[in-house]
Amino acid sequence: MRNLRKQKGFALPVSLMLLVVMTLMGVALVATTSSDMSSNNDRDNSSQAFYAAESGISMAKDWLTKQNSYLPGSNPDGQLRFCKTSLFPTLRPGSARALKNSSGQNHIGKYNLSQLISSSGKEATRLGKFAFEYFITLTPDRNGFTNTEQKNPQGFVYYTIYSCGCDGSTATCSSTNNNISALEAVVTIR
């Protein structure tokens, strides 16, 4: 009888302590899960920006194959929102010269993915949140200048396509607030 009196009320503090421990574990699990979801969203946005940049390279290759003249124009930085020449270590900042289009202007590509991929509803909205910009130059020399042709042994001229994908639209993307994927591809034209 004496032992029972000493144990009286022991279950209540133990169950309260277990409840607090279980609550803390639940809160930690929810925080970890939401952190993982945020990390996965960032990775998904970065991947989509990379694919957008690849789309820019494809469009630029298509444009190159349809041209008759490949003359260098001026520095494209003033016409680009987020795909600045400073993102590319092969270029000397301020000296890159984009190729001209048939109108004599720098050929600059700027698109939201929703402009290229036919979709509707939520998918069209999602695609509208990803964009790319690109420009094309003569391949830079070892000093980063793009004003002279670099040729392979067969005499074909090298061109470099610079493309950036962004997890924002062409109207809102900025290099300070968005994920930017910068790609470059060297091509020759026959």
CA separation for the pair 143, 134 (Å, rounded): 22
Backbone angles phi, psi at 184, to 5 degrees: -140, 145
* Cross-strand pairs, 151: 157
Query: What is the pLDDT at residue 86?
Result: 93
Characterize 158-169 residue by residue with b for buried, 16 or more Cβ atoms within 10 angstroms of its Cβ, and e for exposed.
Answer: bbbbbbbbbbbb
What is the residue-level pLDDT of the chain in tens, covering all 190 positions? 566 566 667 777 788 888 888 888 878 777 777 666 666 677 888 888 999 999 999 999 999 999 888 899 999 999 999 999 999 999 998 899 999 998 899 999 999 999 988 888 998 888 999 999 999 999 999 999 998 999 999 989 999 999 999 999 999 998 888 999 999 999 998 7
Residues near 60 by beta carbon (within 8 Å), at least 6 away in sequence: 109, 134, 136, 161, 163, 185
Judged by DSSP in three states, 172 sits in coil
Distance CA 71, CA 89 (A): 23
End-to-end CA distance of the chain: give it in Å, rounded.
Answer: 102
User: Which pLDDT value is given to residue 113?
Assistant: 92
Q: If DSSP codes are grouped into helix, strand and coil, which group holds residue 76?
A: coil
Contact of 45 with 179, CB cutoff 8 Å: yes
Bridge partners of residue 163, in order along the sequence: 134, 183
